[in-house]
A and B are shown apart, each in its own frame.
Chain A
Amino acid sequence: MTTRFSLPIQVVEAGGFTAWLVEDHSVPVVSLSWSWQGGAAFDPAGQEGTAAMAAAMLSEGAGEMRALPFADALRDSAIGLSFSAGRDSFDGSFRALTDALPEAVRLARLAMTAPRLDADALERVRARAIANARTTLETPRGQAGRAFWAAAFPAHPAGRPASGTAESLGPISAAMLRDALARQLRRDGLVIAASGAIRPAELGALMRDLFGALPAGAPAAPPTLPAFTAFGRQVVPVPGPQSQVILGQPGLAPTDPAWEAAQVVLRVLGGGGFSSRLMEAVRVQRGLTYGIGAGLDSLFRGGVVTCAFATENGRVAEALAVTKDVWAEMAARGPTQAELEEAVAYLTGSLPLQFTDSRRIAGTLMAMRRNDRPLDWLDGRDARLRAITRDDAARVAATLLAPDALAVTVAGQPQGM
């Protein structure tokens, strides 16, 4: 390692709001991200997609502006404003050139404080959401994802589709959307991150302006993640030449002391790029798939380890067997010293690439805050990662990985299953 990279993160407090900021004036652009816990987690049973539709409706007209003038105002100034509802969060963000920043703040505030929810816009958004929900189920991938989460968390919002289904989206009314927005868009409980050409004092003023008019009181806390249901194996019949496979098992929480060691182990097992054990065994050696990856999915303050790949129907059994063997080998012996060093080298060396554009920087800050990381978390990260020994990693691998308990969803027409 020839270069140490460090990032000056500033904490900006104003009007009861706190933002983390990476200030950078090299390009005249500002990205702002904000988030509350909640999102689809608050959707009443049978009304899945309510929060997602409410989020979509925020940019469909506000105040005196109906949908089209609102959209034109954004696009005339190239303001990328978006709202979305995730499984356990409700998120807003914009990116704007500095010249357009006042307009971005004006429109984002209007969207949150005076959304119109016009009936014609609602019907268009609903039609689009229903079509998307149906289209998702056209492919093995969409079918597998739906079935996997439903089986893993049958009685929890984590098991329900955040964007809703054709059935659940149909009856959602403007009144339901207003309720969803009322429980979500609050002055408290906000997590804010910013990056780009803005000074701390300007950001402070911006936050008061943007969020100051929201009602007080934080959104409720979503339910914590229950135990992962080891559902064994399920096959969802989907016609076609290839099956989508998802494997899963319990993971660990972002606050778990072993979280970083687990990231190292999972990087070696099935992390991004071409160098993981699973990629080597399943793709490179045997040509069984175009891509295979495994990693930790963090949700509801807990975690699930998932692995996904697609393969020809006739080779699903072989690919599954190889995957489970690789999983078992890692559980039994952990990574080698060389693998450990390579993974740590990647995880430490890749940090600068996280800071190349303003949206990504704001997103990284947001992820740190949502995982309750301290401000100096990145500063100590290299040392913490380098301190992980092979024995540490092997211990975490043995504790975390459960090859015999892997739940498997196959969507397709797998042979021999």
Chain B
Amino acid sequence: MLGYLVRRILVMIPTLIAISIVIFTIINLPPGDYFSTYIAELQSQGEHANLAKIAFLRAEYGFDQPLWRQYLVWAFGMLHGNMGYSFAYDMPVTQVVGDRLFMTFLVSFTTILFTYAVAFPIGVYSATHQYSLGDYLLTFVGFIGLATPSFLLALVLVYATHVYFGISIGGLMDPHYMGQPWTWGKLASVAAHIWVPVVVIGAAGTAAMIRRLRANLLDELQKQYVVTARAKGLHPLKTLFKYPLRMALNPFISDIGSLLPQVISGAAIVSVVMSLPTTGPMLLDALRSQDMYLAGSFLMFMAFLTVIGVFLSDLALAALDPRIRLQAGRQG
């Protein structure tokens, strides 16, 4: 495993470097920069921009330098924990992000826990009770979950709860807790609000995972070793848990890699709809206004999560099922 770990890390580092270069290039592709957008905005409102100050800021933040030099400053800055400066907010990115990063983590991890906690028992039930009424019902609900975009589900929920119950389910806490230090009251408020975005964001992922677990478990349950175990009179639960379920769990583990960034990026639109204080809406604003360091740091953070997620799922898969695929053949 140590050899595998080292090789995997050595693959991961150039991947991250390549991603950072692509991100930096893409956010610099639109013509102009934050300041030219800002000047155009002021002029459209009939106001005058302080051109001398803007020229000073351009020089201060290296906008007059070649692109490769700007990239190096940004990349080495991140190694030092300096994610750059947000021009729109006029403060360092780390301060702008602040609590929002924690909220994003909270919503994302709760969503992933929800996804696994719901998908696992339903997937197992559907596979072991194939073509039963319960299986048909859960399959139907699963297809609805797969086919409904998260933001649409959010809009419907926000509308329905407001019109029929007279309550607002937007936000992650009661408004008077916003910007306040953490207390038990604030925590309780977050706990009371978080289930709605978690269900909305997790619906599609949960449905997809139920389908995959069901299909994989059905494949395993029809294999000869399971038939033999049943014929020999092994207890049904032991027949299920000993090997078939373990084998069917592989997609669960390999999904960790894609689930994390998927949840975070999927949450961006839902966050806008539901007024969640997460990083999603801020990322959209940063991309629109060409606030390059804020946007770049967000995108890099998501890329980092993706790479780490895939790395962790690969490690878990290698530890759980280091099996050769016969069609791949073996080379020394």
A binds B: no
B: which residues have CB within 8 A of A?
none
A: which residues have CB within 8 A of B?
none
